[in-house]
Chain A
Amino acid sequence: MSGPSEYQPTHPALKWLERRLPIIGLVHSSFVAYPTPRNLNYWWTFGAILSMMLGVQILTGIILAMHYTPNADLAFKSVESLVRDVNYGWLLRNMHAAGASMFFIAVYIHMFRGLYYGSYKEPREVLWILGVIIYLLMMATGFLGYVLPWGQMSFWGATVITNLFSAVPYVGDSIVTLLWGGYSVGNPTLNRFFSLHYLLPFVIAGVVVLHIWALHVAGQNNPAGVEPKTEKDTVPFTPYATIKDAFGVSCFLLFFAWFIFYMPNYLGDADNYIPANPGVTPAHIVPEWYYLPFYAILRSIPNKLAGVIAMFSAIIVLAFLPWLDSAKTRSSKYRPLAKQFFWIFVVICILLGYLGAQPPEGIYVIAGRILTVCYFGYFLVLLPLLSRIEKPRPLPNSIADDVLSKSGKAVASVAIMFAVAGALFAGSVQNARAEESPVPPSEKWSFAGPFGKYDRGSLQRGLKIYKEVCSSCHGLSYIAFRNLADADGPGYSVAQVAALASEYKIKDGPNDAGDMFDRPGRAADYFPSPFPNDQAARAANGGGLPPDLSLITKARSYERGFPQFIFDFFTQFQEQGPNYVSAILQGFDKKPADVTLPEGTYYNKYFPGHAIKMPKPLSDGQVTFDDGAPATLAQYSHDVTTFLMWAAEPHMEARKRLGLQVFVFLIIFAGLMFWTKKKVWADAH
């Protein structure tokens, strides 16, 4: 694996080190002099992108762990305080959460690239198998990490996935108990998941080292699929591959930043903003998008054990790919049939992913079964068959020839399109609440869009409505009085906040006599909840639990449907929550004659199932404003929803502001990288 030029240190200190530990020489031969095929296209930059994403995830993860508390009672709150109180906490969390999805988008592109160009074939079998191991570890890490925020999807995802192991004959239940450390998913489960989630990325990093080692022994594959023969076929890794990878990375960062700064919840599930509740399963359990194809395979098989086996086999089969496909020609470019079937396989995977997000009923089940058969058929029947019957087209003599006869040059835009398509698909599955309720109308929100800002007047009126109406039943427990004076908030002064806080009675203590006592609130106190506990809240509300409103606008959503969700990605539409909350407030209506409502419920057009336990809370003229805003229900709903949106995301303005700066920088930087890359490569052609 030695490059064209050996590393010869000249500085005496480096010489001294090199004789004792040839580490600089190793880096030099692996990342500087290392000969890389000159015809690599941008699909090959995903290796570098993945390395970067692993670094980003480890770095942001270590930092999140500094603020996270792995305790079932505190985990959800600790994530919220991270996002609200820690300097740039929202940024670091968005990076880590969106980063997981970016990591998977990149790994899927990387894998499909390997599949298309036959990168698993002799002598790269071990390289490929190491890759499959990394992928498995990533899936495990992603799952463990998704459990940590301890929201509803975290909890129920953990329950469903760990229960997969109960399918194992005889010892299944014991295994599940072992995983849980209890009789159900609970605090011990969360603790061990945190520990393992911290561990696995370093295991991944270790296997990545092996993966790169194996890569450098076998040498990189290339789009032509012929091995480099002469020096003309290769270029030194640095600067050629380095600069190309760096350009690829900077384009990927643009894509990544779109999620971090503008669509942080596009890939998430609204239910995960509801704290874990072991007593209520969300109506529709969906795993994160990157597991969906396998989830679809699991569900399409009516037998529990067989389903679990099928799901795991769907991944394990990848490890046998080098032997299932024994065709001598590597690159699908020269395999007319394999090329077509490759694209069919890509579509199968995407469709399986789509089905994984749909309710397991009717046509979806049948389609799932057909596609499961196709999925396995591709590996177990088609590839072995093709390698025997297919007549490949003639290969170019050498890589240099391939470069000269450049035909279909894959460009970055293709990569970006692919990534966007993947993300869109991912977004399509974010929340598949199947409801027959009408879709809440889209209101005009001042905070929508890339430059959206909260309307201060609206925030202040909303606070007034919350205080006078909502607060008699609903808590706002993540909001401290001091937040009302925060930058980007309702814009009260510190003195106004102190005065407002002192109107509240806060329980404190114990004092020297050991008694709890009431004292006037201070800026650092949080809005007190109207009921001391959930039981009291239910007792006072006819059995219904008025939810805490701190996160309500992020914890509610509705299906936008195809193709609307695609436009949403570009228009940055993410106001389902506010639309829903506002619609509920205005959705109280006379009960239609054909509807029967359970005792103690009220008819609401937009509430799922229409029977809501909350009586109509707001009517025209109920609250008076000093600033002349109309005292109408529509105005009330709009204002209180704006206020609650701020309560759910107090740093939204900072996020969008920083996002703009980052985008300006990244676009300039990617442009510079592009021209630099062109200049560097000008020499190579």
Chain B
Amino acid sequence: MTTASSAGTTRRDFLFVATGAAAAVGTVFTAWPFISQMNPDASTIAAGAPIEVDLTPIAEGQDIKVFWRGKPIYISHRTKKQIDEARAVPVASLPDPATDQSRVKDGHDQWLVVIGICTHLGCIPIAHEGNYDGFFCPCHGSQYDSSGRIRQGPAPANLPVPPYQFVSDTKIQIG
């Protein structure tokens, strides 16, 4: 092969690589809208804005279920007994160690707000059932205590606490 023709080959290879690279880049950028459209759309995101919940109608020992972003949120007005139980258990012995204090808002110890979705496979646990004065998941028998912490069964983690704050003593904003 002469020098001239090998220079030609290099130039040609460069052209092929450049074209191939452009095609690859174009494909990747084209794919993006097709993937991105699967994400929640603007109206879904807007509908997921924070909601306010009035706590006055919830008597001690009762709880309500509200929906936020399509998820059931349990708001429990805990009794003294439930709070004491939750605080008596040694944290280290829990499968997913967390103190009860870390799961409620300071000064509002009677209010437990958790996302009511079992951390096992997503069923909705039933309140006031099970051996721990908390929640019982009928799907595969996970049991949560009065602080929403996993105590028994296949679920790996405590019921998560959604972001929320007290707007006043009787009103919370979730989200």
A contact set with B: CB distance below 8 Å: 59, 63, 66-67, 81, 84-89, 91-92, 480, 482, 486, 522-524, 665, 668-669, 672-673, 675-676, 679
Contacts and interface: CB of A to CB of B under 8 A. Distances in A.
Interface string B34-57: 101111011110110100000000
A525 B18 CA distance: 49
A669 B23 contact: yes
A88 B42 contact: no
Given A672-B15, A679-B12, A66 B37 contact: yes
B166 interface: no
Contact of A522 (B12, B32, B34, B49): B49
A494 B49 CA distance: 12
Nearest to A86: B41
Contact of A523 (B15, B16, B38, B46): B46
A480 B46 CA distance: 10
B43 A85 contact: yes
A275 B138 CA distance: 47
A84 B42 CA distance: 8
A91 B47 CA distance: 23
Contacts of A523: 46, 49
A522 B49 CA distance: 9
If over half of A's interface residues share one DSSP class (helix, strand or loop), that class is named, otherwise mixed; here it is helix
A91 B15 contact: no
25 contacts: A66-B37, A66-B38, A67-B37, A84-B42, A87-B33, A87-B37, A89-B37, A92-B33, A92-B34, A522-B49, A523-B46, A523-B49, A524-B43, A524-B46, A524-B47, A665-B25, A665-B29, A672-B15, A672-B19, A672-B22, A673-B19, A675-B15, A675-B19, A676-B16, A679-B15
Contact of B33 (A88, A486, A679): A88
The 4 closest A-B pairs by CB, nearest first: A88-B33, A524-B46, A85-B41, A85-B42
Give the interface centre of A84, A669, A673 by most chain B CB atoms within 10 Å: A669
Nearest to B18: A672
A523 B42 CA distance: 12
A84 B34 CA distance: 16
A654 B33 CA distance: 13
B107 interface: no
A524 B26 contact: no
A67 B49 CA distance: 22
A668 B41 contact: no
Contacts of B34: 59, 63, 92
A584 B38 CA distance: 41
Contacts of A480: 43, 46
A524 B49 contact: yes
A62 to B, nearest CB: 10
Contact of A87 (B18, B23, B25, B41): B41
Contacts of A85: 41-44
Contact of B26 (A81, A482, A669): A669
Contacts of B29: 665
Give the interface centre of B12, B19, B34 by most chain A CB atoms within 10 Å: B19
A673 B21 CA distance: 11
Contact of B36 (A59, A87, A482, A668): A87
Contact of A92 (B25, B37, B42, B47): B37
